Amino acid sequence: MDHLDRIRLFVRIVERGSFTSAASDLGLPRSTATEATKSLETYLGTRLLDRTTRHVAPTLDGESYYRRCITILADLDEAEGAFRGAEPRGTLRVDAHSRLTRTFLLPGLPEFLNRYPLIDLHLGQGDRLVDLVREGVDCVIRAGHPEDSRLILRSLGTIEEITVASPTYLQRHGMPATPDDLHGHQTVGFVSSRTGGILPLEFTMDGIVRPVRLPSRVIVSNSDAMADLARLGLGLVQAPRYRFADDLASGRLVEVLTDFPPSPTPLSALYPQNRQLAPRLRVFLDWASSRFKKAL
């Protein structure tokens, strides 16, 4: 292993917080990762990493060296890419909500992979908070208003939100004409992963978004479960229009209060600000942005 490879390995160890994970990412035995790091520390004459049985973290010198290394490696990747004809390559790790992935990204994925044959894509599908640096993820695609100022945000568009209920629910509770008619109605409670509280319904009235809290007999923390319960007639729910396109077409669900829509939800890609944008991530974001803007 040459000096540059040891630097790349060190950066990955810091980002993953683990010799084992970093070695796996780079296709190396763990013993090689350990010995290479010791060799780098000997070469520099300083300890770069604090090691415990559960975690690996950079020392003060290690943190300083890491920040210089990521800048150097990004510059080197850009320079080499220019001489190779800027052919994006390498493994790209992206995390997005499973329904967003299935609806918008997967149908066009063969086109992307054919266009960039040297990129391997690792797609995580979840809606939890992801530590991009520690987990080795290049970017996440999220709906909503991100609050992590350490990340760079690229807008991918906005998602139209609607209010729906099942025909059986509306037969029991009536079809509301305005949000003021919601007395006696109920919702399927949905727990926010960010706050831990139940999200209110939202209605736009005279240009102002008005939150409305209704009672919930069932509370869930999974959006698929929320949709299933709405189909079973257990309450009003709000979600992106694309999620319920088939239900609306078949009549399983009915859109209500169409003149008072929820506020649209921004869709964004987020990636760490302490790195330059790698060519493989840049082309993926351009492609993903095009996919979403055509469909939303």
**pLDDT single digits (tens) 86-134:** 678 778 888 888 888 888 999 999 999 999 998 888 888 766 666 666 6
Residue 35 has pLDDT above 70, yes or no: yes
**pLDDT at residue 261 in the model:** 95
In this predicted model, which residue has the larger pLDDT, 265 or 193? Answer: 265
How much is the average pLDDT of 234-241?
95
Helix (H) or strand (E) holding 137: none
201-205, 252-256, 267-271: the lowest-pLDDT one: 267-271
pLDDT at 38: 93
The pLDDT of 62-84, averaged and rounded, is 76
Opening angle at CA 242, ends 240 and 247, nearest 5:
105
- Evaluate whether 124 touches 93 at the Cβ level (below 8 Å): yes
* Torsion sign over Cα 235, 236, 241, 247: positive
> Which fold, 161-263?
D-Maltodextrin-Binding Protein; domain 2 (3.40.190)
CATH class of 3-83: mainly alpha
For 5-53, give the DSSP string. Answer: HHHHHHHHHHHHT-HHHHHHHTT--HHHHHHHHHHHHHHHTS--EEE-S
Report the CATH number of the 90-158+266-295 domain: 3.40.190.10
Place of tokens 């894509």: 121
Query: What are the sequence ranges of the domains in the chain?
Result: 3-83, 90-158+266-295, 161-263
Question: Same topology for domains 90-158+266-295 and 161-263, yes or no?
Answer: yes
